[in-house]
Structure 1
Amino acid sequence: MTPHPLGLSSIGDDIDKRLAQLGAAVIETEANAVAALKSRINSYFVTACKYMLACTGRIVILGMGKSGHIGAKIAATLASTGTPAFFVHPGEASHGDLGMITEKDVVLALSNSGETEEICVLLPLIKRLGIPLIALTSEPQSTLGKAADIHIDISVEKEACPLGLAPTASTTATLAMGDALAIALLEARGFTAEDFARSHPGGRLGRRLLLRINDIMHTGEEIPIVTDEVSLSSALLEMTRKGLGMTAIVNKQNCVAGIFTDGDLRRTLDREINIHTTPITQVMTIHYKTMSPDLLAAEALQMMQRYRINALLIVDQSQHLIGALNMHDLLRAGVL
């Protein structure tokens, strides 16, 4: 009988336990590799940050194979946190893409061994440009390590792969060091949450941090509005026409006097009043909530959730009604 590759005689609870042990061992190995990087946040790291802060062009990331995948992610993290960056495949660079690198750039090269042929062949050309070269390798005396202006050690004690072949702990360490560089630069640049949102306008965070009430509120003829002289029935007709589940009540100066919502209607019907003869001022809510149009849509959501309401009136500084907003508007805008 062929032995089980995990050294188990049968498949069952034992294999579950063994698989969990293997997974935990990988996490422990990689966690130790990342923890060891803390002592390498030194003067070389600081100088590398200063080179990138002083860069008037972009940070160009180079890496082959698994290091290339990590490099692409580091480039994306840098770019999204205020440091312009892009990834260049070293194999393509030697066939024309090197023209993407300019004299204003800084090169960040990733190679665990420091001997990646596709990167090493580019070193004389990078040097000819006279631009800073930062290397992340495990071998400071490698070809890349010695050619670099700054070398950052990303060596690991061992790979998480039991064969010691698949890049695992080493790529995790490289990624963590790239994140350390990106976040240090973010802080140094004074990069804010709103800056981050501007580079992520399509994401939920971008919508929450950039979208303002005046971007999505109903205006003009779309606003459900009646004067404080009408009856309840007239207010109900306006609510039906506009479909926002409420109507604003304004005085002759177009200042908000109150609001009447679906909830108010349910409470009113319990009182068995005549909707045709009852003035709207008798049943409207006078303790209403309003907001300014230049506030964030996310702030409108917070207010609605806090007070358990589904609609808001939008007013200017003089309390003149200029817009209306309900929970469905926030849902359609992706704020909710």
Structure 2
Amino acid sequence: MKVKDFDYYLPEELIAQHPLENRDEARLMVLNKNTGELEHKIFKDIVEYLQHGDCLVLNDTRVLPARLIGEKEDTHGKMEFLLLKRIDKDTWETLVKPGKRAKIGTRFSFGNGELKAEVIGLGEEGSRIVKFEYVGIFEQVLDKLGQMPLPPYIKEKLEDKEQYQTVYSKEQGSAAAPTAGLHFTEELLEKIKNKGVKLAFLTLHVGLGTFRPVKAEEIEEHTMHSEFYKITEDTARIINDTKEAGKRVIAVGTTSCRTLETIGDDKSRVREQSGWTNIFIYPGYKFKIVDALITNFHLPQSTLVMLVSALSDREKVIKSYNVAVEEKYRFFSFGDAMFIK
């Protein structure tokens, strides 16, 4: 299957540069995965499409302010660090720009010396292994000095860090937000619960690999990046009870979807566990757990468009994306939403 089969034309002006003031007033396209029928709604209308006994599965990861601007200690040259993955307490795999200045043994300073770092090794695809030095609690130092690592297609500065967090974010560790969840408010979640819909939370820490383009021509040649996930016993029980009752498990976001399909067994059951997943879902995949999906509109030729196409089919999804362009929906992280039912 060709990667170019998942292309569509997107005018740059439709890439959302800022979040809406009211999260749940984004537009919502509803796609019937079997018939291809489309409806145009507002996100808060999602309640109409949820049924008593359904289960919404949400990713409670919290984005780290993982972008640090500092300087080289000897030359005072400006440097940018992007934290990718924690290796142990104070050691991280990090992208450093400009990388040629970040040789092993080089030291850096951030925030007038409140945080210091030394390159101690080389990682994959040009990344650096960095050990940090500080006084106090690393997360608090990072919260003070760090910036949100917004996707490369967002050019405007974010005024409030919380705008790039879901209202239910809890487990720190993501390099990017699970953006489908950004549309929910606490009031909307309360309405959903009052309708008899169960909420279940899992964690998948989103890596920056989610923004990397697919370079292979054939889908099957692409290798996915690995991301850490965790699911509790309570969440597993809620999901298993929902499946046994014949009700729908609805993933909020592709991150929740990938986690559920990683842990689901051949009997459509899940269990408490944690680990790393590099699952790649594309057309032809048979879903074990996920019945429906709430998601945003994704980049052309991306693995996320392929995942969405696996739940419906490629023709219906590309057609719906073309309609979204015609109707001037807002795209990507701060954009509008889609419900595939």
Query: Is the TM-score greater than 0.5?
Result: no
TM-score for both structures, normalised by structure 1? 0.27
Rg bigger for which structure? Answer: 1
**Highest RCO, 1 vs 2 (Cα 8 Å, sep ≥ 6):** 2
TM-score for both structures, normalised by structure 2? 0.26
More strand by share: 2
More helix by share: 1
